[in-house]
Structure 1
Amino acid sequence: MDVSAGGHRVAVEVVKASNGIDQVVLQNGRGASARVSLHGGQVLSWKTRRGEELLFTSSKAIFKPPVAVRGGIPICFPQFGSHGTLEQHGFARNKIWIIDDNPPLLPPYDSNGKAYVDLLLKPTENDLKFWPHNFEFRLRVSLNEDGHLTLTSRIRNVDGKPFSFSIAFHTYFSISDISEVRIEGLETLHYLDNLLQKECFTDQGNTLTFESEVDRIYVNSPDVVAVFDHENKRTFFIKKQGLPDVVVWNPWDKKAKALVDFGDDEYKQMLCVDGAAIEKPITLRPGEEWTGRLEIFVIPST
């Protein structure tokens, strides 16, 4: 489908991947693109107009459900981490979503001049056995004229009782070298260290740099966080609404070697920085809806 937007042509195309699962390819009028799989509602690719890939996907990633794809932007819902009867990071990233042909209206800034797709996830009877809450999870993935990628999520309680959930957009950024990047915007914040049983610490540095494994949840974080990649001469910006926390993760060498779907040395070329709501789960009463919005974009730097 081609659509005129501000004098440019944007394109939205549904293609069949090699694993037989539909993917939606978004392209803006300037040639930037994004690819979204119905497996997990997961963004697998995000490219600049020059064709540069901005997201990391492991060379050993498994593209067959019910295994989540190692890379891109998996959606961790209704939990982040591993506890209770649910699988690690919940089930949303492992399910087949559907294209929502008649979504409820979104604010105009989410559609005007953008290539976008609306996806929908509802629980199966089997899901309800493990997480007995009826919900509708609507996701809009959009690519604007400047190449900004936005994920707008709306989760509605269509159950007869309240429920609570956690969520994270587990974004794998493609970087030049983990030793050469830094994050700004998390200074002086409290964080929960997943390597130390979620013990709480306060970040003391001016910027966050990497010399070993990192697995942290920064709580009550700013709405904009920046990742500076010196060698690639670009800076990623993570802008979020309704997502108070930021997860920062890199497995480093030992854990990378222990992951079957991750190359031994690939930790050097990736960094996860997630918009999330984890520390204080979101509670919805019957009929209530939560909205979260994550926008990521990149600018050249010197």
Structure 2
Amino acid sequence: MPTQTPESLQKFAIQDHLTFHVGNGNLNHDLVEARIVTPASEATILLHGAHLTRWNPTGTEPVIYVSPKSAFAEDKPIRGGIPVLYPWFASGWDGQHQPMHGFARITEWTVQSTHLDPHGDVTLTLTLPSTPDLQKSGYGQCAATLRFRVGKELAITLEVTNHGSAPIVFEEGLHTYFAIGDIRQTTTEGLQGTTYLDKRDNFAKKVQTERLLHYTRDVDQVHLNTATPLTVHDAANRRDIHIVKGGSDTTVTWNPWSVMTPTLPDLAPDSWEHFVCVETVNAADNRITLAPGQTHVMSSTVHVTKLA
């Protein structure tokens, strides 16, 4: 069972703006979630995995996709939303790390603070407890803090500090599932000229030569040494989704298409048509080595513009 309850978290609530609840009528779970309401948008963040499952700017279609078949359980990751990947991406830079994508997305994070600023934006700050699993894997002396700022923009900051006496190596990611009208009418801009590892072709190194990345089949690409802003052109919904990264040198984009979806039981048969993952990451050649006493900060800021 969750160790934090809505009652114990009442001191962090903000009247009319931030409340804590167990479960959600639409998603039918018994996990604790924070519900945020601002003049510009609304959001839902589960303490399990520090997992954002909803961000809806006022007057727009939902920006974040969650699979209708996702499990909402303490020992399972959520399919969709924004999973937090740490302290490794996938099975790690050496392919030997488990569980997949690390412990952060299946651990209950602790509420550290909340804040309402004069502009109406709400900030929720969570910390990752030093669990036995993290200690056993060598990350017990690291402090991970995740900060969500919800308003006209969705800004997420992951901060890792090494309190140990030796350097640590880790990977990290915000595995964002963007909701789109139709993947076949979606492109991503900002990756031209980058080298990527094509996971669908035995990790072959390739170069993105075109200005727009088109989705015409299953895609799983790890773009290295890229820090530029990105735009997801969601033509079916007549909008652009803009992503500005900080402290991130890797961008991952993924869609399972109809080919891979049947292998993923927590996706609906048509889920692949309605999302694209464009992820803020540090992985593979861009993994982080953090000296004792040092802090690394990675951030992702998202906003939406409507097209005429």
TM-score over 0.5 for the alignment? yes
Aligned counterpart, 1:254: 259
Structure 1 CA distance for aligned equivalents of residues 122 and 113 of structure 2: 15
Matched, 1:217 2:217: no
Shift of 1:222: 3.7
Q: Distance in 2 between matches of 1:131 and 1:252?
A: 36
Cα 1:91–1:243 change in 2 (3 A) is same
Distance in 2 of aligned mates of 1:210 and 1:67: 29
| One-letter amino acid of the structure 2 residue matched with residue 289 of structure 1 | T
Code of the aligned partner of 1:63: F
* CA deviations over 1:196-246 (Å, ceiling 9, x no partner): 232211112221101111000111224310010111001000101001111
Match of 2:302 in 1: 296
Equivalent positions of 1:60-79 (< 5 A) are: 60-79=69-88
Cα contact 1:56–1:71 (8 A) shared by 2: yes
The 2-side partners of 1:74 and 1:142 are apart by 16
Match of 2:36 among 26, 40, 44: 26
Residue 264 in 1 paired to residue 249 in 2? no
How far is 1:25 from its partner?
Answer: 1.3
Letter in 2 for 1:40: G
5 Å matches for 1:175-254? 175-254=180-259
Give the 4+ runs in structure 1 shifted more than 6 A. Answer: none
Quote the Cα distance in structure 2 between the aligned partners of 1:288 and 1:116. 24
Post-superposition Cα deviations, 1:4-57, rounded to whole Å, max 9, x if no partner, equal xxxxxx711112225332111122124x10111001001110112136311111
Question: Residue 108 of structure 2 aligns with which residue?
Answer: 96
> Is 1:142 the counterpart of 2:152 in the alignment?
no
Q: Secondary structure at the match of 2:241?
A: strand
Q: How many Å separate the matches in 2 of 1:301 and 1:102? A: 34
Matched, 1:281 2:287: yes
After TM superposition, the score normalised by the length of structure 2 is 0.88
Q: Offset of 1:264 from its aligned partner?
A: 1.6
Greater shift in the superposed pair: 127-136 or 62-71? 127-136
2:132 aligned partner, one-letter code: E
Cα distance change on mapping 1:88 and 1:112 into 2, 3 Å: farther
| Structure 2 contact 50–108 (Cα < 8 Å) conserved | yes
Q: Distance in 1 between matches of 2:179 and 2:147?
A: 23
Partner residue, 1:15: 21
* Counterpart among 113, 122, 126 of residue 119 in structure 1: 126
Task: Name the CA distance, whole Å, in 2 between partners of 1:102 and 1:156.
Answer: 21
Alpha-carbon deviation of 1:65?
Answer: 1.8
Rate the CA distance shift 1:126–1:219 in 2: closer, same or farther, 3 A. closer
Mapped partners of 1:224, 1:44: distance in 2:
23
Long gaps (5+) in structure 1: 4-9, 104-109
CA distance in 1, matches of 2:81, 2:170: 22
Q: CA RMSD in A?
A: 1.9
Q: CA deviation at 1:84?
A: 1.7
Q: Offset of 1:271 from its aligned partner?
A: 0.2
Q: In the alignment, what sits opposite 1:39?
A: 48
The question of whether the paired residues in 2 share the 8 Å contact of 1:133 and 1:163 is answered with no
Q: Structure 1 length as normaliser, TM-score?
A: 0.90
1:100–1:120 CA contact under 8 A, matched in 2: yes
Deviation at 1:112, TM superposition (A): 5.7
Contact conserved, 1:185 with 1:222, CA < 8 A, in 2?
no
Amino acid at match of 1:175: I
Q: Secondary structure at the match of 1:128?
A: helix
Task: Work out the CA distance in 1 between the residues paired with 2:185 and 2:48.
Answer: 33
Partner AA of 2:149 in structure 1: S
Q: Secondary structure at the match of 1:211?
A: coil
